[in-house]
Amino acid sequence: MNIIMSTIKSQNDYYNWIDVAKFVGLYLMVLGHGLVSERNTQFIYSFHMPLFFILSGLLFKNRGLSTSIRKGFRTLIIPYFLLNAIGLLYDVVEKHLVGKTLSLCDIYDRIGAVLMGIGYNVDNWHPVLSTTWYIYTLFLIQFVCSLSRNKLWCFMLLPLSIALTLFLSHNSIDLLIPFDSAFLAMPFFLFGILLKNRDVCLKGVWGGVIIILLFALMIVTDTYQGRVDINRCEHGRNLILFYLSGLAGSMLVIGLCQNIQNISLRKYMSGAMLVIAFNLLFIGYFKLAISLMHIELTLAVSLIVAFVILSIFYPIIIVVSQYMPALIGYRNISKYSIDKKMKL
């Protein structure tokens, strides 16, 4: 049996496969933001955000509440507000260029949505960069996890978060501030913490069998569940199946990516927040260009366009990391240790 589950010796090592898995998540995100059919989007949504939260849990270190808050502000909250400020400025300029204006009320509504971390239109609140809800939610999750350094706290958070999710869902309560999204995503984050420093490779005959089983589970649960969306706290017909589907898809990606140790995407992934924040803008322009060229947006074309969009971000990330590091949370790509080869 070539499925290896082993403890990694050093907790400080940063493995290439994590960045590869993140890149896969970004690729799926771009595809799911309007480049593929509704059916394919539904399938992507069943696991691509759970994958991000699991990977975030893998990298999380509980240094205590005060330290976690300081680091969270530096790496998440400051970039969140700066990126949304740029997005708001873009909205104002774009409206001006087409002969329209944003009223002060519209601007206040957008600023209010940003302050609350809202990722979708609700009442008069309209987010500036709707996809940045993930950054805000991740900060909330890390904040809650840092309330105690006792390992028992993480075990308590699992049933607590599920219970709160069920209560809010049953009573149709929208908290606006995405604590509800944080509660829904918390089990994935905690699962990532559980997987920390462990290697789960899918290879060989048994790996192939598990890949088929995981994929089959994803198809079955997705068909039954319908559309899910952590941003909107939509977990489908059954919460347990929501978690099973998200875990199955995430473990499939993680298990495959852990076989990849010779590809370094460290520099690119240091600017992942730029892709998260502005991918919808690029997708809109590409879809407009494709429409003007009378090209049918087939699945093959969508796969190519998604890769091209991700490629365009690379020089932007290089420039931003050099001259505007605050936009990406002052992530210094040189801080990560040199990857060690895992003996599989």
Closest by CA to 165, choosing from 218, 114, 240, 53, is: 240
Q: Tell me, what DSSP letter sits at residue 338?
A: P
pLDDT value at position 239?
95
224 Cβ contact partners less than 8 Å away, ≥ 6 residues apart: 236, 237, 238, 241
Return the pLDDT at 131.
96
CB-based burial of residue 279 (10 Å sphere; 0-12 exposed, 13-18 middle, 19+ buried)?
A: buried
End-to-end CA separation in angstroms for the chain: 11
H or E element that contains 5: strand 5-7
C-beta of residue 133 within 8 angstroms of C-beta of residue 181: yes
Q: Alpha helices, DSSP H only, in the chain?
A: 16-32, 38-45, 48-59, 65-72, 78-97, 104-116, 133-145, 151-170, 179-195, 204-225, 239-257, 266-269, 272-292, 299-323
The SS3 call for residue 234 is: strand
Number of Cβ within a 10 Å radius of residue 43: 21
Per-residue pLDDT of the chain (344 residues; tens, 9 = 90+): 444 444 443 433 457 899 999 999 999 999 999 999 999 999 999 999 999 999 999 999 998 899 999 999 999 999 999 999 999 999 999 988 888 888 888 899 999 999 999 999 888 889 999 999 999 999 999 999 999 988 899 889 999 999 999 999 999 999 989 999 999 999 999 999 998 867 676 776 677 788 888 888 889 898 899 999 999 999 999 999 999 999 999 999 998 888 887 888 999 999 999 999 999 999 999 999 999 999 999 999 999 999 999 999 999 999 999 999 999 998 765 444 433 333 33
> What is the structure's pLDDT at 261?
78
pLDDT of residue 342: 35
How far is 110 from 133, CA to CA, in rounded Å?
Answer: 13
Residue 106, number of CB atoms within 10 A of its CB: 15
pTM: 0.90
